[in-house]
A and B are shown apart, each in its own frame.
Chain A
Amino acid sequence: DQQVKQNSPSLSVQEGRISILNCDYTNSMFDYFLWYKKYPAEGPTFLISISSIKDKNEDGRFTVFLNKSAKHLSLHIVPSQPGDSAVYFCAARTDSWGKLQFGAGTQVVVTP
């Protein structure tokens, strides 16, 4: 039962433009959402998170938006840089220490 879904397996974007990654979920009990970035041969690195009581969280070039009614969240990267080329995972959890449930990931390629 895949409760977190990333329906776009890949995204190609030009350097300097905006990257928008999408994530949908089905479990209304999720109260915390996270984005991780993964380079080949490395573990996932935490990027940004958002609590279910908020609808937006910003950290530098990264902004996460949460639409609870639509059970949808998105990650915006502005401006995109070549070092942003990686796989991005959306994850969610139902309690403060609990298991993370991940989407299948989106491969982002930033071209010059």
Chain B
Amino acid sequence: DAGVTQSPTHLIKTRGQQVTLRCSPKSGHDTVSWYQQALGQGPQFIFQYYEEEERQRGNFPDRFSGHQFPNYSSELNVNALLLGDSALYLCASSPRTGGGQPQHFGDGTRLSIL
């Protein structure tokens, strides 16, 4: 039973570029959340997708956008990259039904901005 998978593992970009990160949820999970983890901090919530719609959003600018596909996989897009966007980006999945199961995380994508 595959868990949450994310790609790529590492990515290097320069300021002003755009990036797309990908996530496949754990089997049986239909809700995907994205988090940004800066060095020495806890993960910060970016947004959550369910039924292909953004359901909740954290305090992140519009440069951060996402998408969820019919197979529940998801993408995170970041435009006009800034040095401060360098972080570990984590995807988490959970089932919508079942009384609030804990979110399961992937191993993340390490994004470095030069």
Name A's B-contacting residues (CB within 8 A). 4, 6, 32, 34, 36, 41-46, 49, 89, 91, 95-105
Q: What is the interface of chain A mostly: helix, strand, loop, or mixed?
A: loop
Name B's A-contacting residues (CB within 8 A). 4, 31, 33, 35, 40-45, 48, 50, 55-56, 58, 90, 92, 94, 96, 99-100, 102-108
Residues of chain B lying within 8 A (CB to CB) of residue A41: 107
Residues of chain A lying within 8 A (CB to CB) of residue B41: 104-105
- Asked if A43 meets B108 with Cβ closer than 8 Å, knowing A98-B56, A99-B56, A102-B42, the reply is yes
B50 to chain A, nearest CB (A): 7
State whether B100 touches A96 (Cβ < 8 A).
Answer: yes
Residues of chain A lying within 8 A (CB to CB) of residue B50: 97
- Asked if A89 meets B58 with Cβ closer than 8 Å, knowing A41-B107, A46-B102, A99-B33, the reply is no
User: How far, in whole Å, are A98 and B48 apart by their CA atoms in the complex?
Assistant: 8
| Chain B residue with the shortest CB-CB distance to A103 | B42
State whether A43 touches B102 (Cβ < 8 A).
Answer: no
Q: Which of B40, B96, B100, B105 contacts A43 (CB 8 A)?
A: B105
| Chain B residue with the shortest CB-CB distance to A1 | B59
- Asked if A43 meets B106 with Cβ closer than 8 Å, knowing A32-B100, A99-B58, the reply is yes
- Asked if A97 meets B96 with Cβ closer than 8 Å, knowing A42-B107, A43-B107, the reply is yes
Sort A-B residue pairs by CB-CB distance and give the 6 closest, nearest first: A96-B100, A102-B42, A43-B105, A99-B45, A46-B102, A43-B107
User: How far, in whole Å, are A43 and B90 apart by their CA atoms in the complex?
Assistant: 7
